Amino acid sequence: MGIHGIYKEIGPGDRIALSKLAVEKFEETGRPLRLAIDTSIWLFQIQSGKGGTNPALRTFYYRLLRLLSLSIHPLFVFDGPNKPPFKRNKRTGTNVASIPEFLAKQLLKQFGFPFHIAPGEAEAECALLQREGIVDVVLSEDVDTLMFGSRVTLRNWSPEQKSSKVPTHVNVYDADKTKAGPSGLDREGMILVALMSGGDYLPEGIPGCGPKTACEAAHAGFGQRLCSIKKKDTVALQEWREDLARELRTNESKFFKRKHGALSIPEDFPRVDILSYYTNPAISSRDGLERLKRNLHWDQDLNFPELRTFTADAFEWVKVSGAKKFIRNLAPALLVRNLRMRGQAAAEGALSEDPDAVEAEEAKLVTGIHGKRQHPSTDNTPELRIAFSPISIVNIDLDAEEPDDKFDEGEEEEEEEMAHVAEGDGDEEAPKKRGPYLYDPTQLEKIWIFETIVKAGAPLSVQDWEEKQRKKAAPKPAKITKPRATKKAASSSQRGALDRFTRITKAGVGPPLAKRLSPTIDRLDLSQTTGITQPKPGDLPISSNERATRPPSEPVVQGRSIASMIAFSALVAVAASLLLPTARAQDADGKYTISAEGIRAKFIPYGASISNLFINDTNGIERDIVLGFDNASYYSVDKLHPHLGGVPGRYANRIKNSTFVIDGVEYRVDANENGGLDTLHGGSNGWDWRNWTVESHTDTSITFSLLDPDGEQGFPGDVKSYVTYSVTPYSWHLKMLASALTKKTPIMLSSHTYWNLDGFQNNDTATALNHTLSLPYSGQRIGVDGILIPNGTILPNKPGSVNDFWSAPKQIGASFGDPEILGNCGTNCSGYDNAYVVNRAQDGPYDWRNNGPVASLSSDFSGIQVDVYTDQDAFQVYSCGGQNGTLTLKNTQGFFDDESRPRVVEKYGCVVMEVEDYIDGINQPEWQRNKKQIFGPEDPPYVLEAVYKFSVADASSYGCAKSEL
């Protein structure tokens, strides 16, 4: 199934134990690995089951037990009614559930596992669920999931050891690794390979064309080019077909290893209907996904009575012997689930903290620990050997079962897919027993369970066992005869008399679920807090009147003197490290990735910079829409192209004469622009030139910190700053906090991100002048001189003038024919480098998060629009007139049809949008910006917040299925 011969081209992927992936996800996030399963393939595979009653359904049963034992959250996806009518030249079945499918759904309900009916093919829906973040990975034998856009796909869940029949390992296919590998295939490339060499919907492809040739064509960009052609553009499609035929015949561009003159491309290639099956499959709408999220419950209770009845009817596990078999198979998997769920509940503060109660509850699950190992079946993931009572886990009444007709339990047979927790479950130390083995669920059983899970659900048991192991390993002192202890003295040192006051009683899995240290720290979440009030010298407890004037969610830290200022910064650092997991490793390019539904971003510590921002365009093609470098190390080397996505500071934009006055004292800072006439972005060693510290990093957020010392670049006082970037569905959030610790100092920050919503891939233009800009609140701008230094004036943006983006949206290049454009961005400069005032007071109290964006930027080519929401009062727009073709595009950008076009940023190739306060406000007293720009140890911290919300226009091309915003 899928694309013929594709695995030879993309390779086998990474072979990893599924248990290892599950444990790592639990350790990382505090929740199980979420897995979308293409159920139709499972139902096909289980037909090979043999022996007993209903062997196929029994195999399915054991696979469910295996998933339960691995602490995985599966979401089973079934084919829906709108799948293509033909597959592999055979008519696909109707949407009426077959008997195996019907029984599988009944079994899923009794296990409490959720399932979902796709609108069309299950593999396309699985890929959508993974892209949207509803699941982490997809499990499918069909590589089509990669072609439908899954970022991570697992296949070939099977035993790693030839002697075993228990599935343990999977092949992991990562879309980024596949693209970076020898094949160079991305989603669009795989679509082309399916069309040329044969796939599910067109098995014959181009007659005589194999996957190697098709991969070479995809690597040459024919797949991306095909998917970008408008649906009604038959001329462009014909040109594409002719170009492909010419290259195959002549190999003039050396795309192929040799000429393929014998290949004849059919006139109707590619068939539009077949192409649409790949690019726009039937998948859930945005409303459908929202309904799924609302109704999706991962940890539902197992229905023991119905499950017991089902196994009796389906597998003939009847009477007492059948009930014992039911317990024997289910109990180990259920124990793992119970331990994991207990750990999660304890970490959330939902369980008792009394040591005696904790100990009693643990004893119901774990009666003892008897060893530790690292086994090849789990890729050496640490496990503990646990003793437990099966009957206490699967609490069914054996006395209510019908007695066996005769004593025939005997030696129990191992089923092919016996779902024990791990391979090698037998006791490695115990000798083999001879004769029949009579299973008794009331007797203790020993199994191997992942150490992480046991520590989460039974921390006291693990602590006691580890202490015993330490005592065993410690050197034994010389034997000294002591008087016999009295009964009273002995009882005073019994277990629990002292250690209960020192032992850890909280279950959990580390930082993601760790209990907060105090209510104060608990509120200091940099990704959520609306503001942090800094302590003042001599500050007393807050009066009721003062408290009433503060926002109810605003935390207050009390203290006094400069020491308390430093303590405040330390407190925020501790809060960040506690409330968010510590930083994980960068990727191979030194970047940290965060992602959410519809958005993926990469950041680097240098300048706390955004380096990549991926959004799917109107055709479903992923566009990297911000400038940067491929590798983090390039930023510190290339000094000719600064400020790419960084945080300029400690004072963004320009400072006139590089001087300012605070409380009568004049300060001179580093003059780094216009031959020493002014300061730009904090000087030659501003904040966007420095390496920040990564304080925390999760799947959806990253926090950087920087301590700027007194005197650096001439600025007074120590300043501690935190920048948190986070993502939610289709939105990028940024929050910047900066505290003056020792002296009054100017602080004004921004995000200096260079945007091109086409991802520098528009065949018609290499500039961003086609982007449409709207500034609905900016009827004024700050007046500047010829070197862009404010002159104290606030100028009107008259309707219809060059700087009018408020009366109606217009393209950035719309006024470039107007004579007034010359000099608009400085002497002899045509374009924009202007600070627009954000006038919102006229509308009364303003809720910046909800009352409308201060700016909107969109592109008709990509269909992408970004709406900018911010709490700042000015908005700088720079049209990149300084770009001159010396900055190379990233590997994720700039693939044009015309390959002779250089992959560089040309003049006007981007647009910078900076949220900030009035530029050089520290030197313009008439603007009264000191409260917004001058901060001392007694003042609240500087705060900047912004949200960039993305949306995409309706698709009108062959491009891959879009995300509906």
Residues annotated as catalytic (active site), given as ranges:
752, 914
CA nearest neighbour of 915 among 647, 635, 706:
647
Q: Given the DSSP bridges, would you call strands 719-728 and 701-708 parallel, antiparallel or unpaired?
A: antiparallel
Q: Give the whole-angstrom CA distance, residue 607 versus residue 681.
A: 12
What's the rounded Cα separation, in Å, for the pair 202 and 209? 13
Task: Name the token pair of 609.
Answer: 């910079």
Whole-angstrom distance between the N-terminal and C-terminal Cα of the chain? 32
Q: Which amino acid is at 788?
A: L
CA 473 to CA 333: how far, in whole Å?
32
Beta strands in 445-562 (DSSP E): 445-450
Structure tokens of 906? 């040309």
Cα distance between residue 105 and residue 115, in whole Å:
8
Residues 6+ apart with CB under 8 A from 602: 587, 591, 592, 593, 610, 611, 612, 613
Element (H, E) at 222: helix 222-227
Helix (H, G, I), strand (E, B) or coil at 386: strand
Cis before 131? omega within 30: no
Q: Which alpha helices (DSSP H) does 296-419 contain, by range?
A: 304-315, 319-347, 355-365, 390-393
What is the DSSP annotation of 154-196? EEEEE-SSTT--S--EEEEEEHHHHHHSTT---HHHHHHHHHH
Strand partners of residue 835: 876
CA dihedral 420, 426, 427, 429 (to 10 degrees): -150
Distance of alpha carbon 250 from alpha carbon 242, whole angstroms: 12
Q: How far is CA 522 from CA 70, 551, 698, 722, 736, in A?
A: 32, 17, 17, 17, 19
Please provide residue 365's backbone torsions phi and psi, each rounded to the nearest 5 degrees: -105, -50
Task: Give percent helix, percent strand, percent coil of the chain, each to the nearest 5.
Answer: 30, 20, 50
- What does the block give as tokens for 478? 């010389």
| 150-178 exposure pattern, b = at least 16 Cβ within 10 A, e = fewer | bbbbbbebeebeeeeebbbbbbbbbbeeb
Q: How many CB atoms lie within 10 A of CB 845?
A: 7
> Among 154, 175, 177, 178, which residue's Cα sits nearest to residue 36?
154
Residue 930 CB burial class (10 angstroms; 0-12, 13-18, ≥19) = middle
CB of 803 within 8 A of CB of 780?
Answer: no
User: Which two structure tokens, joined as six digits, stand for 843?
Assistant: 């509308």
How far is 147 from 820, CA to CA, in rounded Å?
50
> Which residue has tokens 């002995």?
490
Structure tokens at 184: 């160079």
For 740, phi then psi, to 5°, come to -80, 115
Residue 474 identity (one-letter amino acid): A
> Which pair of tokens denotes residue 203?
């098995």
Distances (CA, A) of 680 to 627, 675, 859: 20, 12, 30
Burial class (CB in 10 A: 0-12, 13-18, 19+), 182: exposed
> What residue has token string 């009273």?
488
